[in-house]
């Protein structure tokens, strides 16, 4: 007997699960982008970026989040958010010399999880719960 035979198939929940994943990623990046757009100079200083760079990242985060929620241009949005995540990880590892766990939650473990989440969204195109243009 196959062990999988004793468990019910949850395949019917795939699109719902991908939608929830998109919402969670959108919430995290959307909130970050919102706070960056509210204070690009202050947030840029904390990222060690000029205000214009912070403004660009904040805008990309908000637009990417909106795309994930609506389902419009999901894969380009996921690619953009992957790049932002890679930039954050790069800054923490090589710029700030932070370990994966870091001090006071400053590590890059959350960035790595969000990167993996965006890769799932990219590979699956976010599921079938999307708006069609």
Give the separation between CA 78 and CA 67, rounded to whole angstroms: 9
Per-residue pLDDT at 1 exceeds 60? no
- Answer yes or no: is 131 within a domain: no
Q: Does the model's pTM come out above 0.85? A: yes
Q: Which residue range forms the structural domain that includes residue 19? A: 13-123
User: What digits encode the pLDDT tens for the residues 71-90?
Assistant: 999 999 999 999 999 999 99
Q: Which of 47, 51, 70 is nearest to 59 (CA)?
A: 51
Q: How confident is the model at residue 102 (pLDDT cuts 50, 70, 90)?
A: confident
| Mean of the per-residue pLDDT values of the chain | 93
Q: How many domains does the chain have?
A: 1
User: What digits encode the pLDDT tens for the residues 16-47?
Assistant: 999 999 999 999 999 999 999 999 999 999 98
- Answer yes or no: is 105 within a domain: yes
């Amino acid at each position: 007997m196959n062990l999988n035979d004793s468990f019910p198939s949850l395949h019917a929940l795939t699109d719902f699960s991908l939608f929830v994943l998109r919402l969670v990623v959108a919430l995290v990046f959307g909130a970050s982008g919102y706070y960056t757009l509210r204070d690009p100079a202050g947030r840029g200083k904390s990222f060690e970026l000029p205000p214009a760079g912070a403004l660009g990242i904040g805008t990309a985060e908000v637009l990417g989040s909106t795309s994930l929620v609506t389902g419009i241009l999901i894969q380009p949005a996921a690619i953009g958010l992957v790049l932002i995540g890679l930039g954050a990880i790069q800054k923490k590892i090589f710029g700030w010399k932070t370990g994966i766990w870091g001090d006071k939650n400053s590590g890059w473990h959350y960035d790595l999880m969000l990167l993996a989440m965006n890769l799932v969204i990219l590979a699956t195109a976010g599921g079938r719960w999307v708006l069609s243009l």
